[in-house]
Chain A
Amino acid sequence: MKIGRRGFLSFVIGGAAGTALSPLPWKMMDDSSIWTQMWPWTPVPEDGEASYVNSVCTLCSGHCGITVRKIDNRAVKIEGMKGHPVNNGGMCLLGLSGLQLLYGPMRVKTPLKRTGKRGQGQWKKISWNDAVSEVVEKLRDIRSEGNPQTVGFISGSDRGTVSRLFDRFLTAYGSPNFMRMPSVRDSYELTQYLMQGVQALPGFDFENADFIVSFGSGIIDGWGSPVRMSRVHSAWQSADVKVIQIEPRLSNTAAKSDKWIPINPGTEAALAMGLAHVIVKESLYDAAFVKNYVEGFFDWKNRVIDKYNPDTVASITGIDRGTIVVLARGFANASKPLAVCGRGNGTTPVSLDECMAVNALNALVGNINKKGGVWAVSEPNYINWPEIEMDAKAAAGLQHERLDGAGSKTYPFTRYLLPRLPETIDSGEKFPLQALFVSGANPLYTHPDTRAVRNAFDKIPLVVSFSSYMDETAQNADLILPNHVYLERYEDVPTPAGMIQPVIGLSRPVVAPQFDTRHVGDVVIQMAKGLGGSVAKTFPWDSYDSCLKETLGDLWNFLMEEGFWSNTGAMPPFFGTSYETASGKFELINKDTGSIPQFKPVSIEGDEKDYPLLLIPYDSIRLACGFIGDPPFVMKTVEDSVLKGKDVFVELNPKTARNQGLREGQRVVLTTPKGKAEVKVHLFEGIMPGLVALPRGLGHTAWDEYLAGKGINFNALIGPVEDPDSGLDAAWGIRAKLEKA
């Protein structure tokens, strides 16, 4: 039988009819729509039992309480803890994205030992036992050679049991070189020590203040405890509190303040002195407070009257005379005025002059240790460990001066001077530092003049990083002994930055460790035990957890139940008797050191002829610039006018751009005495002419693909400028030039 055209057609028609009468097309339609609506490659969260774990976020010094939602064993969401004294349910962008730091690709999954050259990224996995014993052997060698002081430790914090264990380890081992990462707290601590005679935490009663003068502090740009500041800021809006923001650039904080006063960068101390001049001259100060509790007022008054009249200050700061006078009167006449300093998010110190000048303003209006004022908050005293046993080697090692010069004759009262370390290493004897441990810090990214820091690190024979992430410092280390991330470990978290009430939080494991990591506290204890002798005896605990439990005592159960302890009824130390200075008063002039609130310009690098512009950094809540880098969720929020693709924009006033012959979006080379980088131009009326502003937090060379290689690291373009009074890094900017690329 021959199949003709007609036969074929009728077969097809029959087939079509039959297909229509079969479930095939309808079922296929249904299935393909299900398939397209639920692409199999789209990840779907597992179903399971929901539970919540209360903990504390330690991604910054804000220390918010968090409640982490879990489905079975997986953490799925981080929320702010309701009722917590810092954030009361609020949460910042970085904190919300913390899960990406737990499950993200940037984690170091096992102990690693470098195989290639430093920074090449060639590693081999080693066991924990091998890693720890390798470190112990090296430490034993250094100690037996009689050089225990050549071991250093850089820590993100110096508070809480973990940091104290580091310090304790070094002391028992025989080294004075425990170093904390710098921040404006350094300036405040020193100021409070010199003026009030106390070693305490600076606390600010923002909740009860009614007139805020901020010398460049990014109140909603990450300064202090960011969520608390953000809550306070909202409360100010409804309570009609006046906020005056003084800084050269219209930051978010400035934009949301009642008045933004642009100021020549680096002249904040001059303005503070100018305000003091008006207040003193017009007798607007708190006469009773000054008379009873302030020492050295009359000497200082004469200097202020002499040197800082509003016209002089106007010419230094670029702020007109009238504004200075009005601001001074407004400040002094408010019932609870408060002045704060610390530029941007407060992770860089300010000069001692500046901090003392601002503190003097507060003293003039009598708000030291008072409601709505600045408090010297004492640390909750719960860490009471047995005496450190020191053998002869330790005692000998501790006789040496610190490598960073803190506590030396030049800088007797400064506690940590980490930014001076690279220079010391570079200029010192052969190996002033033979082993360096880094925990909770990323100095190769966050320190000014990253190239110099890296060169200095290259001279240290052994660099051990405890980082959970492959950050710049870890990448250039010899050994990485990865710590659990904050959602996997126990840790006590004492009073957050800037709080007035003492708080102790308990950070606790939300999930089991995801990788072969180990608590840094455990590693330190194991290192001590490995060294044996008096060092081992100084660490009587089996593990960090047992150490913490023992240290906290009764508090442990309370913290396990409540998540935090807080002294809600905390009162300031009585303002009249809280000074432990020689005179027992608030000292405007410290007789021992001659420190006095004044203005001395911090001379920044570069000369005006070669570098006609000034480069300043700026901070944003959307860019983490500390030891934690932006996780992908946070990177997504960075605006196109800050970062586009891999290009970062520098902000430039249209006037400056016109003078330089530059236009919006143009690619330029930004050069400073420390380095050069290609950037793009963004014209912004909110920045003073003559300035160039670059955001901090970009330009990572390590971390993950979502962050690395995007933009420029501000710290690669600036170097530290030593404050002659404190030794702290007081650089507020650097001279720069822009050239068409």
Chain B
Amino acid sequence: MHTLDDHAKDISEDAADEAGPDLSLEMNLKEQDTGAGGTIILFFILGLFASLVVGWIIFPKLLYSNKKQPIDFNHVFHVEEVDNGCESCHFFRADGTFSGAPKLAQCIDCHEEIQGISPDEIKFVEEYVSKEREVPWLIYSRQPDCVFFSHAAHIKGAQMDCVTCHGHMGESESLKVYEENRITGYSRDIWGKSIGGFKKNTWDRMKMDDCAECHRENAANIEITDIPTPTQRLIDHIVNLVPPGTSTFGKGGSVQTERDPCFACHK
């Protein structure tokens, strides 16, 4: 008949039996590690490297498709021909709206007939002018449809020049390849050539972060400075959990967000 003590002894013996083989396994592992540890690190590095290659090099190649403009255009040549710089063709209409890419109506004054020998001009006159079809230009700076951007406020109001956002487009002799984002359908120029989102010049990117950056830097002269960028907002929301009404951003025009009104820029 077992007593309590016997039972206790049984258990401890069982435990000893179990511990035996475990210890030996540990020994085996240690032996293997010396050879396999390197492999694991190697695989880690392999994985890391492969995904970095995919993310930084292959992904952008897959993400964008290359499209050619319907016809080529020489900005340098045309800027020399006109009197009023960019605004000769990219002008403000009488009601203050911005015309964007010129339409046939602007081109037709000079190009009713073929002027030179450029094959692109011949194509332009034959395919578009004489058939009264508008050229389906691919617009590098076309923002998503929800974005409202007033050229008048920036060019007329803040006296900015075109280069600040559009770069030295006016100095190009031919139109570059239009890289279309396969997911969104917008140009690569919005996110910027650098897939990492880095920029050297103000015109390298046209995302909301870039609007916000400029608006913050020029806070003294600008009415709307409180533009919450997507990245910034995420951080703010984590770091800056405050009850409504006590936001460090102060009170903007909107009752809901206590910030400046979203609809100033978002349709």
CB under 8 Å from chain B, chain A span 1-35: 1, 3-4, 6-8, 10-19, 21-24, 26-28, 30-32, 34-35
Say yes or no: is A50 at the interface (Cβ < 8 Å to chain B): yes
B residues near A (Cβ < 8 Å) are 36, 39-41, 43-52, 54-56, 59, 63, 93, 95, 97, 99-100, 103, 144-146, 181, 183-186, 191, 195-197, 230
How many Å lie between the Cα of A200 and that of B100 in the bound state? 55
Contacts of B41 in A (CB 8 A): 10
Nearest CB of chain B from residue A46's CB, rounded to whole Å: 10
Whether the Cβ atoms of A7 and B48 lie closer than 8 Å is: no
Whether the Cβ atoms of B51 and A14 lie closer than 8 Å is: yes
Task: Name the one of A1, A7, A22 contacting B51, with C-beta atoms under 8 angstroms.
Answer: A22
Given pairs A22-B54, A31-B184, 6 additional interface contacts (CB within 8 A): A7-B36, A10-B47, A13-B44, A18-B50, A24-B55, A49-B93
Whether the Cβ atoms of B54 and A49 lie closer than 8 Å is: no
How many Å lie between the Cα of A264 and that of B56 in the bound state? 83
Whether the Cβ atoms of B39 and A16 lie closer than 8 Å is: no
Nearest CB of chain A from residue B214's CB, rounded to whole Å: 19
Contacts of A17 in B (CB 8 A): 44, 47-48, 51
Whether the Cβ atoms of B49 and A31 lie closer than 8 Å is: no
A residues near B (Cβ < 8 Å) are 1, 3-4, 6-8, 10-19, 21-24, 26-28, 30-32, 34-35, 37-38, 40, 44, 47, 49-50, 72
Contacts A8-B43, A22-B59; A49 near B52 (Cβ below 8 A): no
- Could you give 13 example pairs across A and B, Cβ below 8 Å? A14-B51, A18-B47, A21-B52, A22-B59, A23-B59, A27-B59, A27-B63, A30-B191, A31-B63, A34-B186, A35-B184, A38-B145, A40-B185
Task: Name the one of A14, A22, A31 contacting B55, with C-beta atoms under 8 angstroms.
Answer: A22
Closest B-chain residue to A42, C-beta based?
A: B145
How many Å lie between the Cα of A18 and that of B44 in the bound state? 9
Nearest CB of chain A from residue B46's CB, rounded to whole Å: 6
Contacts of A27 in B (CB 8 A): 59, 63, 191, 195
- Which of B36, B41, B51, B144 counts the most A-chain CB atoms under 10 A from its CB? B51
Nearest CB of chain A from residue B87's CB, rounded to whole Å: 16
Contacts of A19 in B (CB 8 A): 51, 54-55
Contacts of A18 in B (CB 8 A): 47-52, 54-55
Whether the Cβ atoms of A3 and B43 lie closer than 8 Å is: yes
Whether the Cβ atoms of A50 and B197 lie closer than 8 Å is: no
Contacts of A37 in B (CB 8 A): 144, 146
The 8 closest A-B pairs by CB, nearest first: A22-B55, A14-B47, A18-B51, A15-B47, A14-B44, A14-B48, A24-B55, A11-B47
Nearest CB of chain A from residue B136's CB, rounded to whole Å: 12
Whether the Cβ atoms of B56 and A23 lie closer than 8 Å is: yes
How many Å lie between the Cα of A21 and that of B55 in the bound state? 8
How many Å lie between the Cα of A357 and that of B196 in the bound state? 85
Closest A-chain residue to B45, C-beta based?
A: A14
SS of A interface (majority): helix
Contacts A22-B55, A23-B195, A30-B191; A15 near B183 (Cβ below 8 A): no
Nearest CB of chain B from residue A724's CB, rounded to whole Å: 62
Whether the Cβ atoms of B183 and A35 lie closer than 8 Å is: yes
How many Å lie between the Cα of A4 and that of B184 in the bound state? 40
Contacts A7-B43, A37-B146; A50 near B195 (Cβ below 8 A): no
Whether the Cβ atoms of A11 and B46 lie closer than 8 Å is: yes
Whether the Cβ atoms of A11 and B43 lie closer than 8 Å is: yes
Closest B-chain residue to A49, C-beta based?
A: B93
Contacts of A40 in B (CB 8 A): 185
Whether the Cβ atoms of B99 and A49 lie closer than 8 Å is: yes
Contacts A27-B59, A38-B146; A11 near B97 (Cβ below 8 A): no
Whether the Cβ atoms of B183 and A32 lie closer than 8 Å is: yes
Contacts of A31 in B (CB 8 A): 63, 181, 183-184
Contacts of B186 in A (CB 8 A): 34
Contacts of B196 in A (CB 8 A): 23
Whether the Cβ atoms of A22 and B44 lie closer than 8 Å is: no
Task: Name the one of B43, B50, B51, B230 contacting A10, with C-beta atoms under 8 angstroms.
Answer: B43
Nearest CB of chain A from residue B62's CB, rounded to whole Å: 10
How many Å lie between the Cα of A22 and that of B47 in the bound state? 13
How many Å lie between the Cα of A47 and that of B134 in the bound state? 13
Whether the Cβ atoms of B144 and A50 lie closer than 8 Å is: no
How many Å lie between the Cα of A15 and that of B54 in the bound state? 10
How many Å lie between the Cα of A44 and that of B52 in the bound state? 37
Whether the Cβ atoms of B146 and A16 lie closer than 8 Å is: no
Nearest CB of chain B from residue A243's CB, rounded to whole Å: 41
Whether the Cβ atoms of B47 and A13 lie closer than 8 Å is: yes
Nearest CB of chain A from residue B34's CB, rounded to whole Å: 14
Whether the Cβ atoms of A34 and B43 lie closer than 8 Å is: no
Whether the Cβ atoms of B45 and A23 lie closer than 8 Å is: no
Nearest CB of chain B from residue A641's CB, rounded to whole Å: 35
Contacts of B185 in A (CB 8 A): 40
How many Å lie between the Cα of A562 and that of B191 in the bound state? 50
Contacts of B63 in A (CB 8 A): 27, 31
Contacts of A22 in B (CB 8 A): 51-52, 54-56, 59
Contacts of A24 in B (CB 8 A): 51, 54-55, 59
How many Å lie between the Cα of A23 and that of B45 in the bound state? 18
Whether the Cβ atoms of A10 and B44 lie closer than 8 Å is: yes
Closest B-chain residue to A12, C-beta based?
A: B47
Closest A-chain residue to B142, C-beta based?
A: A47
How many Å lie between the Cα of A16 and that of B195 in the bound state? 18
Contacts of A8 in B (CB 8 A): 43
How many Å lie between the Cα of A18 and that of B55 in the bound state? 8
Whether the Cβ atoms of A23 and B197 lie closer than 8 Å is: yes
Nearest CB of chain A from residue B195's CB, rounded to whole Å: 5
Task: Name the one of A15, A26, A50 contacting B95, with C-beta atoms under 8 angstroms.
Answer: A50
How many Å lie between the Cα of A34 and that of B95 in the bound state? 30
How many Å lie between the Cα of A234 and that of B63 in the bound state? 59
How many Å lie between the Cα of A44 and that of B54 in the bound state? 34
How many Å lie between the Cα of A16 and that of B55 in the bound state? 11
Contacts of A26 in B (CB 8 A): 197
Whether the Cβ atoms of A44 and B47 lie closer than 8 Å is: no
